[in-house]
Amino acid sequence: MTHKYVAALHRSSVSGFRYGLRQPDQLLHLSFAKIEQNFPWPKIDIWLAEKLNVEMVDPCSLDGLVQAQHPMTLNAVAWCWRVLLTARALLCIGGVPVFESGRLLRLSTDANDSHLWHAEAAVAQVDYVAEQWFSRAYEAAAIIVTGLAAHLDDFSDPEPLYRQLETHLIGPMWADNASSHSNLALLRAADAAHIPWHHQGGGVYQLGWGKRLRRFQHSQLESDSFMGKKIAGHKYATAQWLSRAGLPAPHHLLVNTQEAAVHAAQSLAQKLGWPVVIKPANSVGGQGITLNICTEAGVRAAFTHALQVSRQVLVEKQVKGCVHHVQVANGKVVYVLRRQPVAVKGDGEHTMAELIAAENSARQQAMLWQRKPTLPQDDLAINCIQRAGFAPNHIPPAGIWVPLRSMPTNIDGGRDDDVTSVIHPDNEALALRAAKILGLGLAGVDIISSDISKPWHVNGAIINEVNNAPMIGVGTSSIGAIPEILMELVDGNGRISVEVFVGDREAFEQGRKRQQVLIGQGVACFLTNHAITEDPKGILWPVIGQGVHSRIRALLMDKQVEAIVLILQTDECLAAGLPVDRLSRLEIVNAVLVSHNAMPIKPDSASQLLALLKQHMSQYHSDSLSAYKQPINRSPHVTI
Tell me the per-residue pLDDT of 368-416, one tens digit each, with 9 for 90 and over: 999 999 999 999 999 999 999 999 999 999 999 999 999 998 889 899 9
According to the model, what pLDDT value does residue 168 have? 97
Choice between 634 and 417, residue whose per-residue pLDDT is larger: 417
Tell me the per-residue pLDDT of 449-491, one tens digit each, with 9 for 90 and over: 999 999 999 999 999 999 999 989 888 888 899 999 999 999 9
What values do phi and psi take at 155, rounded to 5?
Answer: -105, 20
For the residues 158-168, what does the mean pLDDT come to? 97
Evaluate whether residue 420 is within a structural domain. Answer: no
Average predicted confidence (pLDDT) for the chain: 91
Kindly report whether the peptide bond that precedes residue 275 is cis, defined as omega within 30 degrees of 0. yes
For the residues 418-431, what does the mean pLDDT come to? 98
According to the model, what pLDDT value does residue 6 have? 94
How many residues are present in the chain? 640
According to the model, what pLDDT value does residue 98 have? 98
pLDDT at 496 over 60: yes
Angle at 247 between CA 255 and CA 286, to 5 degrees: 50
Going by C-alpha positions, the residue among 250, 242, 249, 309 that lies closest to residue 281 is 309
- Band of residue 62 on the pLDDT scale cut at 50, 70, 90: low
Domain end position, chosen among 114, 146, 179: 179
- Band of residue 624 on the pLDDT scale cut at 50, 70, 90: very low
Choice between 72 and 436, residue whose per-residue pLDDT is larger: 436
Q: Residue 424, Cβ neighbours under 10 Å: how many?
A: 18
**Number of structural domains, the chain?**
2
Question: Three-state DSSP class for 495?
Answer: coil
Distances (CA, A) of 153 to 23, 76, 86, 315, 626: 36, 21, 19, 57, 55
- Band of residue 184 on the pLDDT scale cut at 50, 70, 90: very high
Going by C-alpha positions, the residue among 288, 286, 268 that lies closest to residue 276 is 268
Tell me the per-residue pLDDT of 574-590, one tens digit each, with 9 for 90 and over: 989 999 999 999 999 99
Neighbouring residues of 307: CB distance < 8 A, sequence distance ≥ 6? 280, 313
According to the model, what pLDDT value does residue 61 have? 56
Amino acid (one-letter) located at 375: L
Going by C-alpha positions, the residue among 115, 93, 87 that lies closest to residue 28 is 87
Q: How far apart are the first and last CA of the chain?
A: 31
Evaluate whether residue 436 is within a structural domain. Answer: no
pLDDT at 623 over 50: no
pLDDT at 629 over 60: no
What values do phi and psi take at 43, rounded to 5?
Answer: -70, -40
According to the model, what pLDDT value does residue 72 have? 65
CB 580 within 8 A of CB 196: yes
Tell me the per-residue pLDDT of 238-279, one tens digit each, with 9 for 90 and over: 999 999 999 999 999 999 999 999 999 999 999 999 999 999
For the residues 600-615, what does the mean pLDDT come to? 85
What's 587's domain CATH number? 3.40.1190.10
Q: Residue 605, Cβ neighbours under 10 Å: how many?
A: 16
Evaluate whether residue 428 is within a structural domain. Answer: no
Evaluate whether residue 519 is within a structural domain. Answer: yes
Secondary structure of the chain: what % helix, strand, coil (to 5)? 35, 20, 40
Going by C-alpha positions, the residue among 634, 589, 635, 580 that lies closest to residue 610 is 589
- Band of residue 636 on the pLDDT scale cut at 50, 70, 90: very low
CB 601 within 8 A of CB 570: no
Choice between 610 and 563, residue whose per-residue pLDDT is larger: 563
For the residues 101-110, what does the mean pLDDT come to? 92
Report the distance separating Cα 76 and Cα 69, nearest Å: 11
For the residues 546-571, what does the mean pLDDT come to? 96
Q: Residue 173, Cβ neighbours under 10 Å: how many?
A: 24
According to the model, what pLDDT value does residue 190 have? 96
Choice between 498 and 596, residue whose per-residue pLDDT is larger: 498
pLDDT at 639 over 70: no
According to the model, what pLDDT value does residue 482 have? 93
**Considering only 107-116, 269-278, 436-445, which range has the smallest mean pLDDT?**
107-116
According to the model, what pLDDT value does residue 60 have? 62
Evaluate whether residue 95 is within a structural domain. Answer: yes
According to the model, what pLDDT value does residue 114 have? 82
According to the model, what pLDDT value does residue 57 have? 87
pLDDT at 633 over 70: no
Domain end position, chosen among 115, 146, 179: 179
- The pTM (predicted TM-score) of the whole model is 0.90
Q: Residue 70: give the domain boundaries.
A: 6-179
Going by C-alpha positions, the residue among 312, 69, 26, 208 that lies closest to residue 580 is 208
Evaluate whether residue 453 is within a structural domain. Answer: no
Evaluate whether residue 354 is within a structural domain. Answer: no
pLDDT at 66 over 60: no
Report the distance separating Cα 420 and Cα 477, nearest Å: 9
- Band of residue 8 on the pLDDT scale cut at 50, 70, 90: very high
According to the model, what pLDDT value does residue 70 have? 60
Report the distance separating Cα 560 and Cα 519, nearest Å: 13
According to the model, what pLDDT value does residue 69 have? 52
Percent of the chain with pLDDT over 90: 82
Evaluate whether residue 284 is within a structural domain. Answer: no
Domain end position, chosen among 152, 179, 206: 179
Report the distance separating Cα 266 and Cα 264, nearest Å: 5
pLDDT at 221 over 60: yes
- Band of residue 511 on the pLDDT scale cut at 50, 70, 90: very high
